[in-house]
Structure 1
Amino acid sequence: MSKKIRNMKIKLGIVMDSIKLIDIDKDSSFAMLIEAQNRKYEIYYMEEKDLFLESENAFAKSKKIKIKKDKKKWFNFIDNKKINLCELDVILMRKDPPVNMQFIYTTYILEKAEKKGTIIINKPKSLRNFNEKIFIFDFKEIIPKTIVTKDIKIIKNFIEKQKEIVLKPLDLMGGKSIFRIKKNDPNYLSIVELMTNYEKKYCMAQEYISEINNGDKRIIVVNGKIIPWLLKRIPKNGETRANIMSGGKGIVEKINEKDLKIAKIIAKKLKLNKIFLAGIDIIGDKLTEINITSPTCIVEIQKFSKVPICKIIMNEIENQIKIKKQKS
């Protein structure tokens, strides 16, 4: 990294859910902000409600923020400021799902700033075009048997054929509203009616993968580069969901050749579509999701593997800023 870029005062914005509610020992956004602050970036904190358009420009009611690793008081707002988002060098879009219309509107606002030169991670267009569940259909050779539908009869036929399935919404995260259903389950119809909102809402059904008992694996990709360690999330007894938010236990492991082969296929497409930061989820030898909204597990992998993921992220961001300034 050139001294010129390192010594330059980088202005970084972050759009996220309330920082008041995070767990600083696990939150990936907080870990990235710590690294940014260590590099003496100016950090501007924003929530979704703070963004607005005015005279074809994207603005925010932002707060300059200082943070520290203190579980009693981990942030301090030092200034409130209306800011034109094009004044920022980079914005991290770290708003958690649901990916609803409010989320989509937020990407439109951020895209206005992007067109004027601000780097947005991940790109607004990518956040709209690559749904975390549906994106996996681009890799049909390595995914489990999967359908997306509103139609209750189609789901019923899928259960009849697969014997056991997992039903999940398209717009949530962290294991929320995920159901494991067996053939002849007496609660089948109630669950499917709930998930499809009586055939008004799409959901995803996948064949049940028994290897979930050994955990699912989260692999982090930064600007096409695969982090060589992963987090295996093992569900607690009697549970299907392995997500840490759902009580799963995390174990950090070095990525094996089989998982690396899958990750390389996906990383190539992520790079091609300019998706800067992603989390790949694998169960057994099957790709189940590609998280691009606000990928997590960075803290756990970084802590136990000693791979400085946040440093890698900021180095890549600085490279992008350098390239942009050379072109301007």
Structure 2
Amino acid sequence: MDILFIADPLGHFKIYKDTTYAMMAEAARRGHTIYACEPQHLAWIGGKVEGTVQRVTIVGDEADSARSPWYEAAAPEILDLRHFGAVVMRKDPPFDMEYVTSTWLLELAERTGARIFNKPSAIRDHSEKLAIGEWPEFVVPTLVTRDAARLRSFHAEHGDVILKPLDGMGGMGVFRVKADGMNLGTIVEMLSDNGARSVMAQKFIPQIADGDKRILIIGGQAVPYSLARIPQGNEVRGNLAAGGLGRAQPLTENDRRIAETLGQTLFDRGLLLVGLDAIGDYLTEVNVTSPTCFREIMDQTGFDVAGMFIDALERAAAAQQ
């Protein structure tokens, strides 16, 4: 089938670690035809949603994960999104109004018969930070507010806390404030824009030293390995984008319990791929925009995460025909 990936510019991919590349390569290996575009290439006209897309051919020795170029792109063409057997939304945050507009356009396409994964309304309705509120039994003490006094009170109660914005990714804007409260006021003012934006505060989880675990859910089922992203040096963030070291490891019993509790529910809502984040036994995020870590798990364990995803994509697309 023809598969369209809506993503960041292909020229920016670091294919040795890029999950979207892993998806594309596996789909191409199976004989599917790959197309790509960016969100700004979508348009609604005459009652249909079109994309200015390019057919993509993967070139070179796939064993060379540092090769450049890694693809050839045909001339742009305008196609109705209904043309594709599947449209995979893989644009990275920030989750701003343009991202929301993209989900609205994709939802219009979906209503005319396009097959979109993850489901646009499900992406839009699941805040990657706030979605944890649906499963409080797995959540460390947490506060979301724009009220500086409440944030100060939360810190006074718990002594050692993490503060972060609701719309960040890759560890952006994450601060730890210890019991001495050093710079608490400045951090709250900055993250909340002096009370204009809500902030998430969470009790610090010491098990971050063992890694911020990414648990992948594909088609409602857990990949049997997580990627523990371990902070390096004096860094509090384990995110790979912040310099964390990725270590693949089997799911713990509690990881499986979290995955089994959330997995089918999220899949039933149209979320084919989800990346749960957990520290110790606590769920910290539910990532639905462009979950990553395929390549690291594949390279370290040999488990074919991309194959599991394309299997699920083929089944889901067939079910919507």
What TM-score, normalized to structure 1?
0.94
Give me the whole-angstrom Cα distance separating, in 2, the residues matched to 1:313 and 1:186.
44
> Given the alignment of the two structures, is residue 12 of structure 1 paired with residue 12 of structure 2, yes or no?
no
- % identical aligned pairs: 33
Give me the whole-angstrom Cα distance separating, in 2, the residues matched to 1:299 and 1:160.
41
> Could you say what secondary structure the match of 2:191 adopts?
helix
| Letter paired with 2:209 | N
> Given the alignment of the two structures, is residue 279 of structure 1 paired with residue 270 of structure 2, yes or no?
no
Aligned with residue 125 of structure 2, among 129, 146, 155: 129
Give me the whole-angstrom Cα distance separating, in 1, the residues matched to 2:318 and 2:13.
32
Corresponding residue for residue 51 of structure 2: 60
| Letter paired with 1:255 | L
Deviation at 1:268, TM superposition (A): 2.8
Deviation at 1:61, TM superposition (A): 1.1
Corresponding residue for residue 25 of structure 1: 16
Moved more, 30-39 or 304-313: 304-313
Work out whether residues 227 and 248 of structure 2, in 8 Å CA contact, stay in contact via their aligned partners in 1. Answer: yes
Q: What's the Cα RMSD here?
A: 1.2
Corresponding residue for residue 320 of structure 2: 324
Give me the whole-angstrom Cα distance separating, in 2, the residues matched to 1:172 and 1:51.
24
> Given the alignment of the two structures, is residue 210 of structure 1 paired with residue 201 of structure 2, yes or no?
no
Deviation at 1:269, TM superposition (A): 2.0
Deviation at 1:156, TM superposition (A): 0.6
Give me the whole-angstrom Cα distance separating, in 2, the residues matched to 1:305 and 1:116.
41
| Cα shift readout 1:127-163 (whole Å, capped 9, x = no counterpart) | 1111110000001011011111111111111101110
| Letter paired with 2:188 | V
| Letter paired with 1:215 | G
Deviation at 1:168, TM superposition (A): 0.9
Corresponding residue for residue 136 of structure 2: 140
Corresponding residue for residue 81 of structure 1: 77
> Could you say what secondary structure the match of 2:254 adopts?
helix
Work out whether residues 168 and 179 of structure 1, in 8 Å CA contact, stay in contact via their aligned partners in 2. Answer: yes
Aligned with residue 304 of structure 1, among 300, 303, 308: 300
| Letter paired with 2:288 | I
Give me the whole-angstrom Cα distance separating, in 1, the residues matched to 2:18 and 2:216.
15
Corresponding residue for residue 3 of structure 1: none
> Given the alignment of the two structures, is residue 248 of structure 1 paired with residue 248 of structure 2, yes or no?
no
Work out whether residues 226 and 264 of structure 1, in 8 Å CA contact, stay in contact via their aligned partners in 2. Answer: yes
Give me the whole-angstrom Cα distance separating, in 2, the residues matched to 1:210 and 1:224.
29
Work out whether residues 82 and 115 of structure 2, in 8 Å CA contact, stay in contact via their aligned partners in 1. Answer: no
Work out whether residues 275 and 286 of structure 2, in 8 Å CA contact, stay in contact via their aligned partners in 1. Answer: yes
Deviation at 1:317, TM superposition (A): 1.5
Correspondence 1:54-203 to 2 at 5 A: 54-68=45-59, 69=62, 71-203=67-199
What TM-score, normalized to structure 2?
0.96
Work out whether residues 221 and 279 of structure 1, in 8 Å CA contact, stay in contact via their aligned partners in 2. Answer: yes
Corresponding residue for residue 269 of structure 1: 265
Deviation at 1:17, TM superposition (A): 0.9
Please, which runs of 5 or more residues in structure 2 have no aligned partner?
none
Deviation at 1:272, TM superposition (A): 2.9
Give me the whole-angstrom Cα distance separating, in 1, the residues matched to 2:85 and 2:168.
29
Deviation at 1:286, TM superposition (A): 0.4
Give me the whole-angstrom Cα distance separating, in 1, the residues matched to 2:202 and 2:228.
20
Give me the whole-angstrom Cα distance separating, in 2, the residues matched to 1:42 and 1:268.
29
